[in-house]
Structure formats: structure tokens, C-alpha cells
Amino acid sequence: MVLMPEAVHASVKDPCRSPSHPGVAHRLGKGIATALSGRTGVTSVAVYDRREDLVCGVAADVSYDSASVVKATILGALLRQAQDEGRTPTSSEASLAHAMITRSDNAAASALWESVGRTRLDRFLGRAGMKHTRLGPGRFWGLTQITAWDEIRLLQALTLPGDVLTRTSQTYALKLMRGVVPSQRWGTPAGAPSGVTTHVKNGWLKRQDLYWRVHSIGAFTDPTDTYLIVVLTRDTSSMGYGVATIEGISRAVHHVLRPRTF
């Protein structure tokens, strides 16, 4: 279906590959490296662009506490459950999913984590190829362990043709991610040109009252195709610092992949 991330063996200085468009890959790699230069903490980056036959990865197999980005996985598992049962989400499920994604409501996420259940969640991870994701213990969904590669696989399942989710389910998920409240639309949408439609889910979590985990996953559609950006960060001194790191990288990606020509 897609160029798999395992095809990339990248360094921070040369993180991108595209058999069809090596020049684009080189420019994007330089942009990502420049955005990362001098930043403290741990940062992982993964980018996929089907049109450019391009994949980028920086420390993309490093594990992180998911914080609220796991809510997009919960949504995917819910939609797959509904598919398997030959139905659409119930009114209660739809209400919880809307709150969980658009407002990042934690109570809604907990309710769906419980109702979907670990068996269906694990089954969804397997179907989506998210083989390095580990569900959080018990009710602690925010401690699910994720990698940037696996989050790209999740976004592929939510956006691209395949056998995980139907187009109807994908449209449902993307509508919610498109409707995230303005105060939570930071991160990977930074720098996206006006002709691009953004779909985002962010997460943030402070651990040990000291260091932050700040993440952003985004799918971007335009008149030509879809591209995906994942940036995960940890061990930064503030949420704002993590957001700034993510947005610097995201601006570099948008600038190269979709210049402001729409």
C-alpha cells in the first residue's frame, strides 16, 4: 500500500528518502536538521508523502508516553469495532468520540478505552501494523508507549486506501480531527499553506512534576494528495518549549512539501 518506514535508515543530518524525488528529500532533510539544531530534550520525527514517494525519520523508533495522541488510536479501534459489527457508532459513542478528539476530553477517552476494551485495541494495533505500540497499564491510556513510525502507520490507516478502515470510517475520523478546537490546533499544522486542510491530534503530559512530553500528529490534504507529519518530544522543561520544537520542524516540512502556491 505504501512505502514502509523500515525502508529508511536515516541520520539526523540525512533523514529523508525518496527514490522518485531525491532533490525534494535532500531539501526536506536539510530543513528538518536545521529545525532540530540546538534544541534540547529528545525529539522524534516521521514524515510520509505519497505524492513525492517520500519518507523521513529521525529517532522514529524511540518510545514515548503517548499522552493524548493515543486518543486517535482509540478512535480508530472504535470505528473498526463498529465496522466489524456492521453498524455506525451509536449516539453515545459518537458523543464521546467528538469530545475526546475535538476537545481532548479525558473522561470521554477513559469511557471509550473501557468500552472498546484492550482486546479490540490490540487487534486494531495489529491490523494497522503498529507493532511497537504498547497499551498503557490498566486505565492509564496516557502511558501507552508509542513511536513516531507507528503513529505514521496510524495516520495511514486513517487516511489512505487499505483494509483497516473503510472510506466512511476514515471520513468520520478526519472530520473530528479537522474540528479540533482552535486552542489545541498548535503543532504540526504550523506553517501549513491555506490550500491544505489540516487534521490534528496533540498530546501533552508532565511527568514527575519536572519534564514534559509534548506530541503532535497531523494529516494534511490538498488538491493533489495527502501527507503526514509526526513529531514526538520529551524531557523538555516546559510545554511551550516542546510546542516550539514541533512547530519549527513542521514549518520546515510544509515549506518544502507544499510551497505556498495554492
pLDDT at residue 1 greater than cutoff 50: no
Is residue 168 in some structural domain?
Answer: yes
Inter-axis angle of helices 70-84 and 106-128, to 10 degrees? 70
Is residue 1 in some structural domain?
Answer: no
Average pLDDT over every residue of 16-26? 97
Q: What is the DSSP string of 164-220?
A: SS-HHHHHHHHHHHHT--GGG--STTTT--TTSEEEEEEEEEEETTTEEEEEEEEEE
230, exposed or middle or buried, with CB in 10 Å at 0-12, 13-18, 19+? buried
pLDDT for 9: 46
Average pLDDT over every residue of 163-175? 98
Is residue 2 in some structural domain?
Answer: no
Parallel, antiparallel, or unpaired for β 226-236 and 197-207?
Answer: unpaired
200 near 217, Cβ under 8 Å?
A: yes
List the domain range (segments joined by +) for residue 224.
11-257
57 near 8, Cβ under 8 Å?
A: yes
Quickly tell me which residue has 509526526 as its cell.
230
Average pLDDT over every residue of 147-166? 97
Q: How far is residue 177's CA from residue 155's CA, in Å, rounded to a whole number?
A: 11
145, exposed or middle or buried, with CB in 10 Å at 0-12, 13-18, 19+? middle
pLDDT for 7: 45
E strand or H helix at 222, and its extent? none
pTM of the model: 0.94
Confidence of residue 229 (pLDDT cuts 50, 70, 90): very high
DSSP bridge pairs for 197: 221
pLDDT for 260: 63
Average pLDDT over every residue of 132-152? 98
Q: What CATH number corresponds to the domain at position 217? A: 3.40.710.10
Average pLDDT over every residue of 45-63? 97
User: Residue 4 carries which DSSP code?
Assistant: -
For the chain, what is the domain count? 1
Is residue 130 in some structural domain?
Answer: yes
Ordered alpha helix ranges (H), 37-183: 70-84, 91-102, 106-128, 148-159, 167-178
Is residue 5 in some structural domain?
Answer: no
Q: Which three cell numbers stand for residue 80?
A: 473498526
Average pLDDT over every residue of 58-73? 98
Is residue 156 in some structural domain?
Answer: yes
Is residue 81 in some structural domain?
Answer: yes
Residue predicted with more confidence, 56 or 223: 56
Is residue 17 in some structural domain?
Answer: yes
pLDDT for 118: 98
pLDDT for 11: 59
> pLDDT tens for residues 101-140?
999 999 999 999 999 999 999 999 999 999 999 999 999 9
